[in-house]
Structure 1
Amino acid sequence: MKLLAIDDNQDNLLTLSALLKTFLPEAQLITSQSAQDGIRRAGMEAPDSILLDIQMPGMDGFEATRRLKASPATQHIPVILVTAHRSDSACRVMGLECGADAFLSKPFDEAELVAQIRAMVRIKRSEDALRQERDSLEALVQRRTSQLSQANLELQENLERLVENEARYSRAVRGTSDGLWDWDLVSDDYYYSPRWKELLGFADDELANRPDSFFSRVHPDDLLHVQDSLNAHFLGQTPFDLELRLRTRGGEYLRVRCRGQAEWDGAGKPVRMSGAITDITERQLMEEQLRQAQKMEAIGQLAGGVAHDFNNVLTVIAGYANILKMDLTSESAQYGLADQIAAAAERAAQLTRGLLAFSRKQAMSQQRCDLGDIVRRVQQFLGRVIGEDIQLKTEILPEPLPVQVDLAQIEQVLINLAANARDAMPGGGAITIATGLRDGTGHGHGEAAGPRAVIIVADTGEGMDEDTSRRIFEPFFTTKEVGKGTGLGMAIVYGIVQQHKGNIRVSSKPGEGTVFTIELPLIEGADALEPALASQPLPRHGTETILVAEDDPSVRSLVDMVLSRHGYQVILAEDGEEVVQRFQTQQEGIELVLMDIIMPRKNGIEAYAEIKKIQPGAKVLFTSGYTADFIQSRGMQEGVELIMKPVQPMELLRKVREVLER
């Protein structure tokens, strides 16, 4: 047994060699560290099987497989693709399309490795034997004149083999997932395998073997393309391989891949054609999921890239605007201007938080709330969002629905849904927000079981067609005019719900309005809920000394002013190295360290570790404008006090007071 292993990593080849010596000692291993050299060695050595790594520089395993399968010298050698991702279905689909025969995942399972190799070797040797048998049969036919009596005996043997092969072929036709077809172009006779008819919803005896059974079921928009492809194939110009839609028994259209190959007579006239259809619904679903994941990753990278600097800027804008408001009376004209600045900064902060929530990079501040209280809280200011010509109704269950949520994010979900409903009712209408309880039975594949709290947002607007409903949560998808919609509002809703381990569904028809149903995990302990409607008290002044470390000078000045105005003694530091030095010098008088996580010279996590060595009981409050995944990658531990930028002055003062009084 001769094997060829192609892998650019010498350690992988050594590991494979050791495994084969132990578990498959009869195997002779030939190795190569590049795809080009491996293809050359395959042609020279004619191995029984090839183990081919996918990830290689220059030429990857997919391209190498295509070339091996395209060469007459190597096309019959089984190729086993080696991947590091056991469940990567997209990778496996691509490998099969390139001609791979099997797959193995790293690290190797010894039993699977040996079984795969032996299976591939058996298949190759069987195919080699069949080819040799075919060549032998042709030689016997050529000598039949001089060996007539012997040929008769051999003919009987060959007939028996033919019956066996026919039975094997029949079993393969019945067992394959593809639908096979055969077309006699001379007599116009058709054959459709039982599987071909089954894909369209028919039993074998329910669909006639006629050309019309195919052509009458092709989608009208695809028919011309099918005819053009057939004509081009008959002329020998292109392969016949296309995607089309076939009408099923139920009247829906099934998207399939249709492939075929014609046979020509001596005069070059096509006389026969055979092929198969493959249901590509699952493949298209995976492609759509991949596109969606790529869009989400792009949004996440965009949001994460600007979050830190933008949040620092928003902290400064909102901070000074709120300080101006505190210094002015509500009757002052300047008070209204400062209020507008603060409101605009808060809207910008909401957009940033929404983008990060969509990409699942937003650090959530969760609390235990009654879902009904959240709806009541949003109801108080939703009128300003939807306008006077739209009636707002609420239907809230009397019993509590305890959930663990980020209050601001769930409020944003309801605001975005209400704004979307408003845009769907340009002539006015009604929006209904209701709460409910779902039992422990899942509604569909992939949905979590267990009791769920439900929010329903329904409108009497224009509604949506099926295609729009299917794409409503895609990033950048919008039905609005250019300049009137970003295409991110509903994508943000979807991201926030997913981050809360919930799910969201939409039901809509043109002219019949739209209903969004959100389900969130229900938690236990309705008696320990935090009131969502409670107003926050003003933080009391303090006299303690606080060491502030912030590398952004604008934010540092703002925090100094906010704390100083409320009676605190403030010591300032510009980076992690300086904050450790100042704490070490004045540790007895410092009662709280307020510092940014990401700073030059030494980050906040490293500075925190050194401060705890100096004084284990030191109180530290972190701030950050970076994304949650970025913070965690710097070693942030759970349970550490953290307040995310942009932060309002009152919110900062409350948090400082809370940490000091613990």
Structure 2
Amino acid sequence: MEVLNRHDTSLTEEGRFRLLVDAITDYAIYMLSPEGIITSWNTGAQRFKGYKPSEILGEHFSRFYLEEDRAAGIPERALATAAETGRFEGEGWRQRKDGSRFWAHVIIDPIRRPSGELIGFAKITRDLTERRAAENAIRESEEQFRRLIQGVSDYAIYMLDPKGNVSSWNFGAERIKGYRPEEIIGRHFSTFYTPEDREAGVPETALTVARAEGRFEREGWRVRKDGTRFWASVVIDVIRDDDGDVLGFAKITRDITEKMETQRALEQAREELFQSQKMEAIGQLTGGIAHDFNNLLMAVLGSLEILKKRMPQDLSLTSLVDNAMQGAQRGAALTQRMLAFSRRQELHVEPIDVSGLVRGMMDMLSRSLGPLTVIDTFFPVRLPTILTDPNQLEMAILNLVVNARDAMPSGGRIVLRASEESAPPAKSPLSPGRYVRIAVTDEGEGMDAKTLEQAVSPFFTTKGVGKGTGLGLSMVQGLTTQSGGRLFLKSKPGEGTTAELWFPVVVAERATETAADLPQREQIAPDGLRVLAVDDDGLVLMNTTLMLEDLGHTVFEAMAGSEALDILHRQPVDLVICDHAMPRMTGAQLAQAIRDEWPEMPILLATGYAELPEGAGMINLPRLGKPFSQAQLADAISRVVS
């Protein structure tokens, strides 16, 4: 304090500005005449560009630009932009006295008299290729330096005394932080810090580091006069006299909130893109696996079904076949979950009254819980109609209830409720509108943030080895997404978990139209048909033939599209059942060729895919999903043959 007092008599306001600029080492700060002639030069400028004041004063500032930039008139355009708009900012290559180049960030602000007359420009350049601590020296008059600092609007540049009290204040500081000079000069700079940072001693730490190391640089939240916060880039340089005693500190603050938010948005977009690509890749993989798996299950289930019908009625043998069929059916259910996750399952949508659907499955839910768990339901008498697959919705609700039961190994209470909502949760991808929300809440131990984030990831499970596939929530998510809705999970450790299914409300006209479009089933299946079965998989073809013959039909077999067309030219046929995924000629292509010659021929497309690939054509053909039972085959035939 004594050192500062020793200089108080000689430090006018202009002197403090001069000391301030003289202490800045990371910025080239100098003035230009209206024509662009250099009229002042600081140490930072000399360090960046290599010119001494005697070599550069009176020269035009365009000599720092590359030859091609000068030829393009870039220096003149920069001054014109600053004079017309009040500011120029840009980045580009600049060259030093020795001809070497550096990448510079440049700001040019016009300096005007109170009358509005342009008297020059304040120019600040920062070398972004290398940041080094150095001292800036200002060689011009104190009035020029004062105008220079006051002309800077994008940086808060001010001085602190050794105790941290504000002793000068520029226009940029007023613009960024909201205080007029008379409101802030004399107050401690910790005023700009958040309460938590002040409590942690961050302001004092900054000055301590600056004293010890000569410089302090950090980013963090700061507070404006109106209480709003902004993300700031802060540099504090210590100011010393010739004896090394501390006179104060030079402080530069820049509001980089927009830059930070842009960076955060970019990182979020990258993460979302990565997740989208990952899920798409897994979806394609599971869809392909499901197709091959369905063909295998088709062979197993078909053979077992025919075997059971033809074998002697031996209870011991029948039970073994039943067990094998149940195992294969569980495999088919797993395949459906994989398809649901990859959003490639075929949904048989229809208008649904959620209240009625849940009431109809209460007995099944109660049997699934066991004696230690109770379930309470809170459903309105009527809810608006939604459009989805009722069987898949029942499976989704059952899955969520079983998950809730498993989260409470010692028992507890599960709440199942539904309600109409007029707006989706904040920051959700759902559009505004009317929704039906189905929520399942448990009293379990809950999930931490990391587990919650992974909960819907495929094959992730917390149930231990052999107790879960990790596809349950993925299946639920796939169903809601295909239905135009969304799955939301809410959970905290010790507070249980709530799973919410959001489905858009369907207006009555659309529901009626959609219901009318659903295929209507014939009650009586025709028999004695001549059926052409086409499949490139011999096992599947054999089982399909056995099922058809067992139903009383005459079957012609083909393992390729060309072979099927040859048969059609030789034999009268009442129905064609063909696989889609065949080499050389797909089922859809075969169907098109058949329709070209026999327009009225009934065709049933059997496929292990839940959806046909892009460009497959004939996507409106009646389809039979693999694996199918004999009853499902008979039912499909009754729907396509009148």
Normalising by the smaller structure, the TM-score range is 0.5 to 0.7
The aligned amino acid for 2:338 is: L
Relative to structure 1, the CA distance from residue 644 to residue 336 in structure 2 (aligned partners, 3 Å threshold; closer, same or farther) is: same
> What are the superposed Cα offsets for residues 260-282 of structure 1, whole Å, 9 maximum, x if unpaired?
55657799999645455535464
Label 1:626 to 1:441 Cα distance change in 2 as closer, same or farther (>3 A).
closer
Task: List per-residue Cα deviations over 1:491-528 (Å, max 9, x = no partner).
Answer: 33222211211123334454443332322123226789
SS at match of 2:355: helix
The secondary structure found in structure 1 opposite 2:627 is: coil
Q: Aligned in 2, Cα 1:194/1:607: closer, same or farther, shift over 3 Å?
A: farther
1:653 maps to what in 2?
634
Preserved contact between residue 545 and residue 590 of structure 1 (Cα < 8 Å): yes
Between the two proteins, what is the percent identity of the paired residues?
27
- Specify the SS of the correspondent of 2:501: strand
Counting only pairs closer than 5 Å after superposition, residues 469-488 of structure 1 correspond to structure 2 as: 469=452, 472-475=455-458, 478-481=461-464, 484-488=467-471
- Is the contact made by 1:402 and 1:529 (CA closer than 8 Å) also made in structure 2? no
Query: Are 1:600 and 2:583 matched, yes or no?
Result: yes
User: Please, which of 300, 303, 308 is the counterpart of residue 317 of structure 1?
Assistant: 300
Out of 159, 165, 169, the position equivalent to 2:151 is: 165
Deviations 1:30-87 (A, max 9, x none): xxxxxxxxxxxx978448699xxxxxxxxxxxxxxxx977997484699xxxxxxxxx
Whole-angstrom CA distance in 1 between matches of 2:637 and 2:316: 32
Q: Which amino acid aligns with 2:569?
A: Q
Provide the residue aligned with 2:535 in structure 1. 550
- Residue 210 (str. 1) matches residue 210 (str. 2): no
1:607 Cα deviation after fit: 1.4
CA contact (8 A) 1:183 1:272 kept: yes
Name the structure 2 match of 1:55. none
Aligned to 1:433: 416
Superposition deviation, residue 653 in structure 1? 2.0
> Is contact 2:526–2:641 with CA below 8 Å preserved after alignment?
no
1:103 aligned partner: none
- Is the CA contact (8 Å cut-off) linking 1:354 and 1:409 kept in structure 2? no
User: Displacement, 1:569?
Assistant: 1.1
- CA distance in 1 between counterparts of 2:177 and 2:374 reads 53
The residue type equivalent to 1:636 in the other structure is G
Residues 612 and 423 (structure 1), Cα distance of their counterparts in 2 relative to 1, 3 Å cut: same
Q: 1:565 to 1:69 in 2, by over 3 A?
A: farther
Relative contact order higher in (CA < 8 Å, ≥ 6 apart): 2
The Cα shift of 1:654 comes to 0.8
**1:188 corresponds to which letter in structure 2?**
G
**Cα distance in 2, alignment partners of residues 45 and 425 from structure 1:** 73
- Answer whether contact 1:548 1:572 (CA < 8 A) is retained: yes
Give the aligned residue type for 1:557: M
Check 1:189–1:544 CA distance in 2 against 1; reply closer, same or farther (3 A cut). Answer: farther
What are the equivalent positions in structure 2 for 1:625-636 lying under 5 Å apart?
625-626=608-609, 628=611, 631-636=612-617
CA–CA separation in structure 1 for the residues paired with 2:311 and 2:189:
87
Q: Read off the aligned partner of 1:660 and give its amino acid letter.
A: V
Once the two structures are TM-superposed, the CA of residue 543 in structure 1 deviates from its matched residue by 0.9
How many residues in Structure 1 have an aligned counterpart in Structure 2?
A: 507
C-alpha contact 1:369 1:529 (8 A) present in aligned 2? no
Higher helix share: 1
SS at match of 2:481: helix
Counterpart of 1:545, as a letter, is R
Change (3 A) 1:214 1:384: same
Q: Greater shift after overlay, 279-288 or 546-555?
A: 279-288
**1: CA distance between counterparts of 2:355 and 2:637?**
30
Deviation at 1:387, TM superposition (A): 3.2
Q: Are 2:290 and 2:338, in contact at CA under 8 Å, matched by a contact in 1? A: no
Cα distance, 1:209–1:130 mapped onto 2, change above 3 Å: closer
Alpha carbons 2:524, 2:638 under 8 Å: kept: yes
- Could you tell me which of 351, 355, 359 is aligned with 2:334? 351
Structure 2 residue 624 is matched with structure 1 residue 639: no
| 1:372–1:401 Cα contact (<8 Å) kept | no
Q: Measured at CA, do residues 184 and 342 of structure 1 come closer, stay the same or move farther in structure 2, by a change above 3 Å?
A: farther
Kept in 2, the 8 Å contact 1:539–1:653? The answer is no
- Pair 1:417-2:393 in alignment: no
8 Å contact 2:591–2:618 — kept in the other structure? no
Judged with a 3 Å threshold, the aligned counterparts in structure 2 of structure 1 residues 464 and 211 are, in CA distance, closer, same or farther, namely same
Q: Name the aligned partner's letter for residue 164 of structure 2.
A: D
Please give the alpha-carbon distance, in whole angstroms, between the structure 2 residues aligned to 1:354 and 1:391. Answer: 27
What is aligned with 1:609?
592
**Shift, 1:327, TM fit:** 4.7
Deviations 1:269-301 (A, max 9, x none): 996454555354645544553443244224213
Q: Which runs of 5+ in 1 are unaligned?
A: 1-41, 51-66, 79-128, 135-140, 145-151, 174-179, 199-203
Gaps of 5+ in 2: 1-64, 75-90, 107-120, 127-137
TM-score (norm. length: structure 1):
0.62
Larger radius of gyration: 2
Correspondence for 2:505: 522
Counterpart contact for 1:464–1:509, Cα < 8 Å: yes
TM-score (norm 2): 0.64
Does residue 499 in structure 1 map to residue 482 in structure 2? yes
Cα RMSD (Å): 5.1
Aligned to 1:372: 355
Q: How far apart are the structure 2 equivalents of 1:49 and 1:346?
A: 77
- Asked whether the equivalents of residues 538 and 650 of structure 1 are also in contact (C-alpha less than 8 Å), the reply is no
Deviation of the 1:557 alpha carbon: 1.0
- Whether the 8 Å contact between 2:210 and 2:236 is mirrored in structure 1 is no
What residue identity is the alignment partner of 1:645? Answer: K
